[in-house]
Each structure stands twice: as structure tokens, then as C-alpha cells.
Structure 1
């Protein structure tokens, strides 16, 4: 009995020690972060190695869905929309699955990223984009599975996958031109109503030049007919400057628009101010 108790105690002491042992992973995790034009592209995957094994057509069978790496399925994320083979990938994260073949690979961008390996049940409706990539044979073998983002240009790049003597590439585009043109047009057109509102709000809160704050808030309101929060600030600036009539007029406009928008908070704020100013 004593031997059994001693063995149990020894096992209990050794188990936590064993749990603390650290060793290299056979397929270490990797993460790529690449700026493509104005889009942040991130790839997260695990990297198995050949270790003397035949990979294509053996360890990675032809004609079968592959997680495209090891462990959890490979994932790619885009900070903006992206386009692959004419299909739009909305900004967000996607699982990357592949079906390797001798002469080409089918590459799938799958909306469900919560899989360990390939999905138990494949759902075609979750395929956001599919690309058939031609296999290119490399003279020098690549020992460890590698994903790259290469062939960079302002409006896109190529997602590359290399292992053994095989390379496949998936070109994608990003809306850099559209985003840049929109930015140019916005800057050249001058400040927006929100910019004027933010500047006026800061001046009001910090007690800076109220005359300047009034000009900015008036400009903001003139550019936004239904912005009851801007009209609210306008009424407060007028009141602080001693223009009670202007404050009441602005508060009444803000109240009417807030009621139409069913915004109870601003309705109450305006009603309280109008009562304070003797207008209700």
C-alpha cells in the first residue's frame, strides 16, 4: 500500500514538470504581413517540412482537398476588399484550401475560418473565390512549405505557395487606385462637414476662439441638413457667445430633426436647453 501511495505522489510531482517541457514544433507557425498598395494583407499558416518524404501526389494527394499547410487551416486577411479571378473578397479573413493536381491546383478562399484542417462538410456557398493556378516546376527543391506575397505593384500582388519542386501563384488585386482617387478628391474639395464640426467642437470644449468656432459650426450645419448633433453644438456655441435668439433657433431645429430621427437623448438635451432659455 505504501508503495502505491509513494508511486502516486511521485507521479503527481513529475507530471507538472513534464508539462513544462518545451520542444520545437514539427510544423512551426508563421505569419506574413505585407502592405499591398493601400491594403494590409496577412497570412497565418503552419509550415511542415519534407524530411525525406515525397510530397506531391503522396503526402499531399492529388485531387483531394488540402488544408494548405499543417495544423489549423491556413488563413489570409485583407484590410480592404480584394479581387481574385473576378470574385470580390470583402475585407476580412478567409481560410485558404487547395486541391492540388499534377498540372494545376484549385485554390479556394473559404468564409468559414473555424476549422482544424479541412471542413468535415464542404459548403460550396462559403466559397468566396476560386482560382485555378498552373503548376510551375522548380529546379531546386524547397524543404519547408512556404507561402509568399510577391510580384508587388500598386494595385495587387501574387499569393505564392512553394513546396518540394512545385510552385503555384494566385494573383489578386486591391482597390488602391479607387481609394487614392477618392482621397485626392476629398482633400482637393476641402474640409468636410465632419471636419468643421470636429474643429468647432474642440474650440468650444477648450474655450478657444468662439468666433472661429461659430464660423466652423455654421459651415458644418450648412453642409449637413439632418445632423441634429451639429445643430446642438451650434446652439451651445451661440448661447455661450450670448446670442440667446440664435441659440434657441438652432436648438429648435436640432430638436425637430432629432425627433424625426427618433433620437431620445438629443430630444431631451434640446428640450432641457430650451426650457433653460425660456423657450418652452
Structure 2
């Protein structure tokens, strides 16, 4: 009997521990992900609805700092530096605050993003950028608070905010040309020394085409302005595997000098041990 009771209690406990009451959120969360040119932009915010209430100037007072949404901070993330009204906003995450007024809004990008609502103590030093935009009255009211990224061009877009009869739009520019040119130049310049090193490492460790591995590590060494000791270590191992122990010893000695200059004792000892082995 006791065993039956114990099992029943255990089953009830397990069921109760898994049970979760779910109800709809009054201000559901939304996530916007948009690529502008070559720059990733993301906005995470909660969307309150008017529900018959007077919003701007009442529920959201004029002239006061607003969280620009509901619940925790509205967070906007830029994958690259952007330019707003001629000022640079560094890439990263920001709390999106605003100060709605009758004819204009102040849009504020704030570096502290862990507030519930507005900060208890507003710190002007945490304002990364502030911009003023004109309020455009809508003929048809927007029931649910909305943030969007619109007017997409290859080098710009607008951050749009709408609720009730109020609509504001803030243009931001992205460094598409700079990113594209850098990508083109990197691609046309060919692989980097590190990419050649990684390819050589694969061929050596996988016991596949050691000749190809030697070709790639030679290229990595050739293209390096200051050859890293670990490049030279790999080259010596490949040389030894090819049967060129004399060349491997010379390269290992070079690796020792580079490792000593870098203060890496581990590579110094590994190279010395290999030289002893290859000298027999």
C-alpha cells in the first residue's frame, strides 16, 4: 500500500513539475532581422497595442524618456558602423530610447541595454548618439506599436516607428562600398599566409598529399613578413616526412629562434627534441 501511495505521489509530482500555464502576452515580443547593403541589422522589441487608449501625450507622455516599446529595453544591433546625420554610430548593441514630442521625436541610442523600461538614473555619457526627427501625422491610426526597417538602398535604409497617428523615420547609412571593396581586394589578392598554413596543416595531419602540404607551407612562409614559429615548426615536420632531415633540422633551428623571440618555451623544447631525433 505504501509503495502504491509513493508511486502515485511521484507521478503527481512529475506531472505538476512539467505543467506550465501559458497565456498570451499583452505586448508580444518581435524580432526584426534585415540586411542593409552588406550590414546586418537586428531589432528586438515588445509591441503594445492601444486597445482604445489615447497613446501619445497620455499613455506615453510628451517630453519624457520612453522605452520605445514595452517591457525590457528595445535592443537594436548594427553589424557595422553606421552614419546618422553625419555622425558615426559604432557597431554593436544599443537600447533604443526616445522622447516623443508633438511635432518631433528624439531618438536615442543608449549603450546600457540591461534596463527594464527606462534607466533608474539616466546617464548622458551612455548616449552614443541622439537624433531628432519630425513627426508625420498618419491619416489611418496604427493599433499596435511598430518598428520597421524600410526604404532599403544598397547603402542606406530608414528606421521607422509608428503608433496611433504618429510616424517618425530616421535614415541611417551603412558602409557598403567600403566592405565591398575590401572583399574584392582580399579575394583578388589571393589566400593569406594563415590560409596557406591551415591548408598545409590539413595535408600533413591527414597523411594525404604531403607534396601539396609542402607547397602550401612554403607559400605561407614566403608571404609572411615575420614568419611565426609555428609555421616553421610545421614546415620542419613536413620536410622530415618527405625524408629531407637536413632541411628539417635547419628549419627547426629557425623555429627555435622565432619561438625564443616570442617567449614560447614549449615550441623551443619540441624543436630541440625533433632535432635530436632527426640527427641520429
Q: Same fold (TM over 0.5)?
A: yes
Whole-Å Cα distance in 2 between the matches of residues 271 and 154 of structure 1? 56
Instruction: Using the TM superposition, give the Cα deviation of residue 94 of structure 1 relative to its aligned residue in structure 2, in angstroms.
Output: 0.8
Tell me which moved more, 235-244 or 32-41: 32-41
Give the match for residue 278 of structure 1. 279
Q: Do 1:87 and 1:128's aligned partners in 2 also have CA atoms closer than 8 Å? A: no
Q: Do 1:84 and 1:130's aligned partners in 2 also have CA atoms closer than 8 Å? A: no
Whole-Å Cα distance in 1 between the matches of residues 183 and 79 of structure 2? 17
Which blocks of at least 5 consecutive residues in structure 1 are unaligned? 1-12
* TM norm structure 1: 0.89
Give the match for residue 131 of structure 1. 131
Give the match for residue 154 of structure 1. 154
Instruction: Using the TM superposition, give the Cα deviation of residue 31 of structure 1 relative to its aligned residue in structure 2, in angstroms.
Output: 0.7
Give the match for residue 176 of structure 2. 176
Give the match for residue 50 of structure 1. 50
Give the match for residue 230 of structure 1. 231
Q: Secondary structure at the match of 2:167?
A: strand
Instruction: Using the TM superposition, give the Cα deviation of residue 222 of structure 1 relative to its aligned residue in structure 2, in angstroms.
Output: 1.2
Instruction: Using the TM superposition, give the Cα deviation of residue 80 of structure 1 relative to its aligned residue in structure 2, in angstroms.
Output: 2.3
Give the match for residue 262 of structure 2. 261
Offset from partner CA, 1:192-225 (integer Å, 9 cap, x none): 2122112211111122222221121111011112
Q: Secondary structure at the match of 1:153?
A: coil
Instruction: Using the TM superposition, give the Cα deviation of residue 271 of structure 1 relative to its aligned residue in structure 2, in angstroms.
Output: 2.5
Give the match for residue 105 of structure 1. 105
Which blocks of at least 5 consecutive residues in structure 2 are unaligned? 1-12
Q: Secondary structure at the match of 1:226?
A: coil
Give the match for residue 215 of structure 1. 215
Instruction: Using the TM superposition, give the Cα deviation of residue 244 of structure 1 relative to its aligned residue in structure 2, in angstroms.
Output: 1.1
* TM norm structure 2: 0.89
Give the match for residue 81 of structure 2. 81
The alignment status of 1:122 with 2:122, answered yes or no, reads yes
Give the match for residue 167 of structure 1. 167
Aligned ranges for residues 17-36 of structure 1 at < 5 Å?
20-36=20-36
Instruction: Using the TM superposition, give the Cα deviation of residue 266 of structure 1 relative to its aligned residue in structure 2, in angstroms.
Output: 2.3
- What is the count of residue pairs matched by the alignment? 264
Q: Do 1:85 and 1:129's aligned partners in 2 also have CA atoms closer than 8 Å? A: no
